[in-house]
Structure 1
Amino acid sequence: MWSRSVVKWVVLWSLWAGRWVRQPTREVRVSNGWLQGVIPNEGTHAQYLGVPYATVKTRFQAPGPEPTWEGTRVFHDEHIRCKQRFSSTFITGEEDCLTLNVYTPLQASPDPRPVMVFIHGGGFRDGSGSPFLYGPQYFMRHDVILVTFNYRLEVLGFLCLGIKEAPGNVGLKDQTAALKWVKKNIRKFGGDPDNVTIFGESAGSASVMYHLISPMSKGLFHKAILQSGSAISPWSFQFDPLKTASQLAKSMGYSTEDPNEIYRIFMTKTAVELLTARVPRRKGDIVLSENIFVPCVEKTLPDEEQFLSDTPYNLISNGHYTKVPLIMGHNSAEGYMFAGKENDTTISNMDFNTIPRDLQCPNDDEQMKIGKRLKELYMGNEEVNKETLVKFAGFEGDSSITFPVVSAIDMLVKTSTEPVYSYKFSYDGWMNFAKKYFGFMSAPGATHADELFYMFKIKIPVLLHEYIEWDVIQRITTMWTNFAKYGEPVPRGTPLLPPWPPTDKADQRLLGIGKKCSMAPVWSSEALLFWNSTYTKYRRKA
């Protein structure tokens, strides 16, 4: 497998080389003005890359309207990223970065096509809608329209000071602006604005859940798919955003908890300075605890529309969300990716008594009791070290992804009036690139993001891999696009696909997607049941 440094340079090269595609599409009139896209060399689809859907007028504030222009603009480039930390020493991207990509089949259709809008992951810290990782080719075979987009990240997208200058959640408000653009314009590309499925992975999946619970996004989508992420994950919600902001200010040499003063400080800093500053991780905590600028509950402010007025847990558990058909699931070995990001220092410091930030124990004795039991469940009598990382990965994956996902499934099944289809992706094949990249090549199962490589075509050459894994690619993309078209992933009587009934609240089962597909319990381990009993007692509510 290539080294990480080689992969990074391949990414940069591909972003440059991808510009050499120039066969034009027909002209399309959208709310911005006239535009034209390109047909790539393989001739499978038309693509409109880097179309601006909104503007960043002022840092930390909601997006402004889409820009307009005279004449016809050709959108053949997708080179804009939102400002982010590509590595510890390399900050890339732009602050005015709100662009989207539209992909359409070339063949004419007598009827408007279903629309699938994908929200990228990256822990609300990094990522983009780039075709480098999210190429549309596999989806284009299923007669749907695909949209991907960028949104503001990290402190630039999720500073939440509770003042009108920085109310919070502007990254999610960017996403809503993208969905509004789609609703207003997608018919011009042959899409059906009344049949929009939003789907996302990791932070993108958590984002999908945020759109379910936000009144700001109501009516902008009709189905939703949530892959390996939840708004009730410990890393996807900040309970004390002013404290988080003051900690970042402190790391830059300022001691204040005054939101107006913090705002003035941050406005004097460049984006590079803001993203280079670091708030140290709690000693003993896991890598995802470093995700601190994430969504928050906003204060009620004059003339400011709230995206989120209560915690995700409160809203979901009480049924206060948009009821649409859902698919939700996780991968079988989520934690390999996160364990693979740990280093010698963080591994040696790891402490099971450092519980997730969305738990509140009544005293230290109870917290240590929980930590002791967690260590028994995941490590037995062994310590955390490089030789036992596969075991420790189970803890990182369950605490960060798997338990929050199955807990959300449980709440959704019990409160929704629409079907909820649950899954666990465990397929272990040639294209499990995330697992290989993070050093778990011989470990069983699928880690965080592994399923994406069977859904989206990446720009690294993988022709042999595609040939070997084509049946899996077809199976997954068929189920996902069936859901977008019909509201169920496996309509009755569909050949070559496994039966996949909705999850029943009294007997919660999911589809295991592996070398063979079969139904299995949602609550699949003693460890998950222990997490559930612990959160039932000590979940932080506000």
Structure 2
Amino acid sequence: MTNRRAPRRKAVTVTASVLVLTVLVGAPLACTVRSGPAADEVRRAAPAGAAAGETVRTDAGPVRGTRSGAHRIFQGIPYAGAPEGRHRWAPPRPARPWKGVRDATRPGPLCPQVPSPYAPVSSTEENCLVLNVTTPPDQRRAAPVLVWIHGDGAVGGGSFFDGRRLAERGLVVVTVNYRLGVFGGLALPGLEGAGTFGLQDQRAALTWVRNNARAFGGDPGNVTVAGVSFGASAIAGHLTSPASRGLFHRAVMASGEAMMDMPAGAMGPGVPGYPWYVWRTGREMEDITTEMTSSLGCRDGRPERTLACLRALPVKRILEVPHIMNAFQVFGYGNATLPELPPTALRTGRFHRVPVLSGATRDEHRTFVGMTYDAVGRPFTEADYDRALRTAFGEARAERVRAEYPTTDYPSPALAWAAAITDRMWARGTQAQHDALACHVPVYAYEFADRDAPMFLPLSGGFDFGAFHAADIPYLFEDEAADPLFTPAQRRLSATMTGYWAAFARTGAPRGTGLPAWLPHRPGPAGRPYTQSLAPERIGPVDYRHEHRLDFWNHLS
């Protein structure tokens, strides 16, 4: 997630489990760095490269951006006040208005985070609730707006995603920072918004878009919210959150985990299983908070005193607790923001009725197996495979799974295990999500299937990652690590994908001149469970259920 000079622009995140990085790779502590200017800093002098037309008035004050070719780019615009001091672990509040013209030519601060092996970036800056806007060329009418929510939930930021490729298709692209890890998910008894502060930040950003899109040439009545991984799961939360009603009109979810469960050991040895991948009850969130903050010297029988103590601690002190950011890569439910378990709400049709474009990659779980074993020089053996199967499925079912996924059918036991968990966890959850949504709204399902997609993450080793988790995102956002590696066929795939996404944002259906036909997904015996395969060599329907052996897994379960 970093480039060769500074935090890599347009990075893609790779995980969303509560304990994935805790067990897989940890969260190595490095010197935190100031990631950018304070979010309330205003520079009245015109920045280099600014030209007439790059100044826009928002509801908090004017901002001046830069021009990149035919695009205007505005960075680091505050959409909410700094969540620090008594506002740490509190609902977001409006940004403080400023006087003069605010410099919007550089990214704002990242929210607090610590480095990881795949994202060696860090920040201790809480004044980080900012967003970035990229406008399309030749704006003659109000353009559809696409709001991007990045994934992971413990590292990352909106400025890592370069929106010019999608803006070229006629969209106003907005990318967002939100509170991560413990700063977004802490929970204490009686704390308003406990376990959902990151989700509330995203909602505040969507409210900002509704109020300010027109100033950037965008249509506030045509907003698509899109995200990957943890960000896609957040969108499932917004679909079921009463307070998010009316803030968006379409949704795109890439590699989301809204309806996934997690077998024991699926994310590595010692990682327990969970009935839901990203959703926790309020009590579970409070238990996570108690465990992760116990070493900070703020233990008190009265939650209000515990909260006051935690709010008084420096950010750096909190970040020094091992794994405290990764442990909160989940959302709490049973509260005002998420009154109901989102999978239940989706299944029963209690969600906001908007068209959905949703999908996953063909080899989702290869990322996690590769990170755990081969990429770090620890081969995954036949014995490891047997142990993993028994842990995940029990003695009785392990043999049946091994017979369905024999190592003789794969180049290595690691790829056999990755295929089994891709199908059992990711594909099964993705199909369940598509089926639930499609009972009530138009759903366009896809599978990203480019098994030669460039590996842009800094992972070593000779592991075959295939169409790995989030491999599709550089085909939508410009990425200086992946772009030079694209073949002509991959560039054509990228053009088709951005065409699909832009058409969906514009009309609610991925259809347009020159785009291969893409039918809606219709579940049920009399329906058409349609999934569009996206690969350089072929774009068209795929039998997703058969390819991922979902009948086997549904029968086994």
Mean CA deviation greater in 340-349 or 498-507? 340-349
Look up the match of 2:61: 33
Give the alignment of 1:495-534 within 5 angstroms: 495=514, 497-505=515-523, 506-514=527-535, 515-525=537-547, 527-533=549-555
Mean CA deviation greater in 156-165 or 509-518? 156-165
Q: Retained in 1: the 8 A contact 2:333–2:341?
A: yes
Look up the match of 2:171: 144
Q: How many residues align?
A: 491
2:115 matches 1:73: no
Q: Retained in 2: the 8 A contact 1:243–1:257?
A: no
After superposition, the C-alpha distances for 1:84-143 in whole angstroms (9 at most, x for unaligned) are 12237974242221000000024231x211111111111x1111111x4x2122112211
Look up the match of 2:20: none
Structure with the bigger RCO (C-alpha within 8 Å, sep 6+) is 2
Look up the match of 1:323: 353
- Per the alignment, in what secondary structure is the counterpart of residue 333 of structure 1? coil
Give the alignment of 1:415-494 within 5 angstroms: 416=440, 418-429=441-452, 431-434=453-456, 437=459, 439=461, 442=464, 445-460=466-481, 462-463=483-484, 465=486, 469-491=490-512, 494=513
Matched residues in 1 for 2:554 and 2:79: separation?
41
Give the alignment of 1:158-169 within 5 angstroms: 158-164=185-191, 167-169=194-196
Look up the match of 1:83: 112
After superposition, the C-alpha distances for 1:317-336 in whole angstroms (9 at most, x for unaligned) are 11000011111111001112
Change (3 A) 1:246 1:378: farther
Matched residues in 2 for 1:484 and 1:258: separation?
48
Mean CA deviation greater in 434-443 or 52-61? 434-443
TM superposition shift of 1:50: 0.5
Matched residues in 2 for 1:13 and 1:400: separation?
30
2:419 matches 1:394: yes
Q: Retained in 2: the 8 A contact 1:91–1:275?
A: no
TM superposition shift of 1:532: 3.4
Look up the match of 1:403: 428
| Aligned with residue 217 of structure 1, among 228, 244, 249 | 244
Q: Residue 205 of structure 1 aligns to which amino acid in structure 2?
A: A
Q: Retained in 1: the 8 A contact 2:370–2:463?
A: no
Change (3 A) 1:232 1:507: same
TM superposition shift of 1:190: 0.7
Matched residues in 2 for 1:257 and 1:475: separation?
57
Mean CA deviation greater in 477-486 or 88-97? 88-97
Q: Retained in 2: the 8 A contact 1:50–1:99?
A: yes
Q: Which runs of 5+ in 2 are unaligned?
A: 11-33, 38-46, 261-275
Change (3 A) 1:525 1:473: closer
Matched residues in 2 for 1:48 and 1:246: separation?
40
Q: Retained in 2: the 8 A contact 1:353–1:371?
A: yes
Change (3 A) 1:61 1:316: same
Q: Residue 114 of structure 1 aligns to which amino acid in structure 2?
A: P
TM superposition shift of 1:513: 1.1
Matched residues in 1 for 2:35 and 2:71: separation?
19
Q: Retained in 2: the 8 A contact 1:228–1:402?
A: no
TM-score scaled by length of structure 2: 0.79
After superposition, the C-alpha distances for 1:248-276 in whole angstroms (9 at most, x for unaligned) are 13465887887556535533543333333
Matched residues in 1 for 2:450 and 2:56: separation?
40
Q: Residue 62 of structure 1 aligns to which amino acid in structure 2?
A: P
TM superposition shift of 1:524: 2.8
Q: Retained in 2: the 8 A contact 1:159–1:241?
A: yes
- Per the alignment, in what secondary structure is the counterpart of residue 406 of structure 1? helix
Among the aligned pairs, what percent are the same residue? 27
Q: Residue 63 of structure 1 aligns to which amino acid in structure 2?
A: P
Q: Residue 520 of structure 2 aligns to which amino acid in structure 1?
A: P
| Aligned with residue 72 of structure 2, among 11, 33, 46 | 46
TM superposition shift of 1:242: 1.7
Look up the match of 1:303: none
Look up the match of 1:12: 7
Change (3 A) 1:268 1:74: closer
Look up the match of 2:22: none
- Per the alignment, in what secondary structure is the counterpart of residue 296 of structure 1? strand
Matched residues in 1 for 2:322 and 2:144: separation?
42
Change (3 A) 1:427 1:382: closer
| Aligned with residue 170 of structure 1, among 197, 206, 209 | 197
Change (3 A) 1:232 1:268: farther
Matched residues in 2 for 1:407 and 1:256: separation?
43
Give the alignment of 1:366-377 within 5 angstroms: 367-371=394-398, 373-377=400-404
Q: Retained in 2: the 8 A contact 1:54–1:65?
A: yes
Give the alignment of 1:101-500 within 5 angstroms: 101-109=132-140, 111-122=141-152, 124-130=153-159, 132=160, 134-164=161-191, 167-233=194-260, 234-239=276-281, 240-250=284-294, 259-260=303-304, 263-264=307-308, 266-278=310-322, 291-299=327-335, 306-343=336-373, 351-355=388-392, 367-371=394-398, 373-378=400-405, 380=407, 387-414=412-439, 416=440, 418-429=441-452, 431-434=453-456, 437=459, 439=461, 442=464, 445-460=466-481, 462-463=483-484, 465=486, 469-491=490-512, 494-495=513-514, 497-500=515-518
TM-score scaled by length of structure 1: 0.81
Matched residues in 2 for 1:125 and 1:71: separation?
34
Matched residues in 2 for 1:380 and 1:256: separation?
53
Matched residues in 2 for 1:107 and 1:162: separation?
52
Change (3 A) 1:345 1:450: closer
Matched residues in 2 for 1:290 and 1:168: separation?
14
After superposition, the C-alpha distances for 1:34-81 in whole angstroms (9 at most, x for unaligned) are 1111113xx131000010000125111111112211111120010411
Mean CA deviation greater in 228-237 or 455-464? 455-464
- Per the alignment, in what secondary structure is the counterpart of residue 517 of structure 1? strand
Matched residues in 2 for 1:371 and 1:258: separation?
47
Change (3 A) 1:326 1:438: farther
| Aligned with residue 64 of structure 1, among 93, 99, 106 | 93
Q: Which runs of 5+ in 1 are unaligned?
A: 281-288, 300-305, 356-365, 536-542
- Per the alignment, in what secondary structure is the counterpart of residue 76 of structure 2? strand
Matched residues in 1 for 2:305 and 2:405: separation?
45
Change (3 A) 1:489 1:166: closer
TM superposition shift of 1:413: 1.6
